[in-house]
Amino acid sequence: MTSQQPVADLSGLVVERWGAVQHRVAAAARDAGRDPRDVAILLASKTMPVAVVRAAALAGATLLGENRVQELVAKAPELVDLAPTWHVIGPLQSNKVNAALRWATCVQTVGDLALATRLSRRCEAVERDLDVMVQVNVSGEPTKAGVAPQTAVDLALAVGGLPRLRLTGLMTIGARSDDPAPVRAGFALLRGLRDEIAASGAPGCGEVTELSMGMSGDLELAVAEGATVVRVGSAVFGPRQG
Ligand SMILES: *Cc1c(COP(=O)(O)O)cnc(C)c1O
């Protein structure tokens, strides 16, 4: 957060930039021959103060994502009047599962069966359902979380079979590259994996439609490759500090 910048100023900018991102997504969808309404924009609110997130939510950003459970638990109660939908988009430690599930309707970052099993057990205990996505490391960069593409289908089929979990799709973070070709190839790879899972006929895999991919810097490439959810932070909030 730019501590020098008053929240009121930032809130005005955020509303303006949210509109600009909507235009970018719509233009990318039209270029790809897709209906802009088929691409949801998730606002990644990490590090942003709740007043600024509120301004964005009032402007229409009602699908929110948090990386850190501590931030989710701090912000979500302050925004209940706006009833946003919260997704977990960062690594979820097992000791944070209960806290996360108090607010999140979807965990996009399931990268192994241990986490999926823990989520399933918790959901059974409290008698609720949970949407999940399997996170795939399409670029193979060692700093990125997610299951390897080679084992993504096996993991997805296992997750789809767990009680109380509804596997909705796959999520990835695009390759870090100035060359669009490998970034786009990674997104295409994710789409192929989703199609393979959906076509498998395995239990719990019939509703696998979502592709959560694309961020501020590469959302056009993701939409061209079929993204149904793009996750945007800095294009709305400005560059993060630190
Ligand atoms: C921060 C974050 C985003 C948004 O990134 P920007 O480049 O700021 O748009 C998207 N997805 C995840 C998982 C993130 O952590």
Sequential DSSP letters for 102-130: HHEEEEEEE-SHHHHHHHHHHHHHHT--E
Ligand 1 in reach of 145 Cβ (< 6 A): no
- Atom 11 of ligand 1: nearest residue by CA position: 231
- Atom 5 of ligand 1: nearest residue by CA position: 233
Ligand 1 in reach of 144 Cβ (< 6 A): no
Sign of CA pseudo-dihedral 173, 3, 6, 83? positive
Dihedral class, residue 168 (left if φ above 0, else alpha if ψ from -120 to 50, else beta): alpha
Residue 236 and residue 45: Cα distance in Å, rounded?
9
What is the CA(217)–ligand 1 centre distance, in A?
9
* pLDDT of the residue at 188: 98
Q: Which atom of ligand 1 is nearest to the CA of 216?
A: 9
Q: Which atom of ligand 1 is nearest to the CA of 109?
A: 13
Written as tens digits, the pLDDT of the chain (242 aa) is 445 567 778 888 999 999 999 999 999 999 999 999 999 999 999 999 999 999 999 999 999 999 999 999 999 999 999 999 999 999 999 999 999 999 999 999 999 999 999 999 999 999 999 999 999 999 999 999 999 999 999 999 999 999 999 999 999 999 999 999 999 999 999 999 999 999 999 988 888 999 999 999 999 999 999 999 999 999 999 887 64
Ligand 1 in reach of 67 Cβ (< 6 A): yes
* pLDDT of the residue at 95: 95
Q: How far is CA 122 from the centre of its chain?
A: 21
* pLDDT of the residue at 241: 66
Whole-Å CA distances, 151 to 59, 109, 182, 188:
40, 15, 20, 17
Residue written as tokens 């790809």?
32
Whole-Å CA distances, 54 to 82, 139, 232:
8, 34, 16
Question: Which of 215, 218, 220, 241 most suits a substitution to test ligand 1, by most atoms within 8 Å of the C-beta?
Answer: 215
Residue 124 and residue 146: Cα distance in Å, rounded?
25
What is the CA(44)–ligand 1 centre distance, in A?
6
What is the CA(90)–ligand 1 centre distance, in A?
9
* pLDDT of the residue at 9: 80
Question: Which of 89, 108, 110 most suits a substitution to test ligand 1, by most atoms within 8 Å of the C-beta?
Answer: 89
- What is the DSSP secondary-structure string of 13-28? HHHHHHHHHHHHHHHH
11-28 b/e (C-beta count within 10 Å ≥ 16 → b): beebbebbeebbebbbeb
* pLDDT of the residue at 3: 52
Ligand 1 in reach of 107 Cβ (< 6 A): no
Ligand 1 in reach of 204 Cβ (< 6 A): no
